[in-house]
Amino acid sequence: MYNFQKRDKIKRIIYSWPMFAFALFFIFWLGVKVFVVYKSERLSRANRDKAEEERQSLEEDYTAINSEIQFLKTEKGIEKEIRDKFRVVKEGEQLAIIVNSDANRPGKTPTVKAETIWTKLMSLLSLLNFKRD
């Protein structure tokens, strides 16, 4: 025969206020732990995305450097690099260096900024780091 009084006693313990408070505390604690794991996952995902972008950037740099190395292994690449770095020419060639090409362009007059005494004084004071109180 089953004891109904024992069943009522267990029911009273399960549905009591201390058990209810314990259940609420357990649910709150579990929620906090889930939130911590969620934040950790978000941070890990952001770090993974950042690392992936950096990897792609490094791969692009790697391919660019490899193509530059392959170009420099050719005769044409060696010649171009020597010409760029040392400004040399082959025998029979001439080198022309153009200095300040915008000022020498026809139809363009150089602009001169007129400075007054006041602007010169202000620029001098700003150079001296003069501060007014």
Q: pLDDT tens-digit profile of 96-131?
A: 777 775 655 666 665 666 678 777 777 777 777 655
Query: What's the whole-model pTM score?
Result: 0.46
CA quadruple 33, 38, 40, 41: dihedral positive or negative? positive
How many angstroms from the chain centroid is the CA of residue 29? 37
Report how far apart, in Å, the C-alpha atoms of 108 and of each of 21, 32, 113 are.
Answer: 87, 72, 16
- Contacts of residue 71, defined as CB under 8 A and 6 or more positions apart, other chains included, come to 77
Q: What is the pLDDT of residue 1?
A: 58
Domain boundaries, the chain: 4-106
Q: What is the pLDDT of residue 109?
A: 61
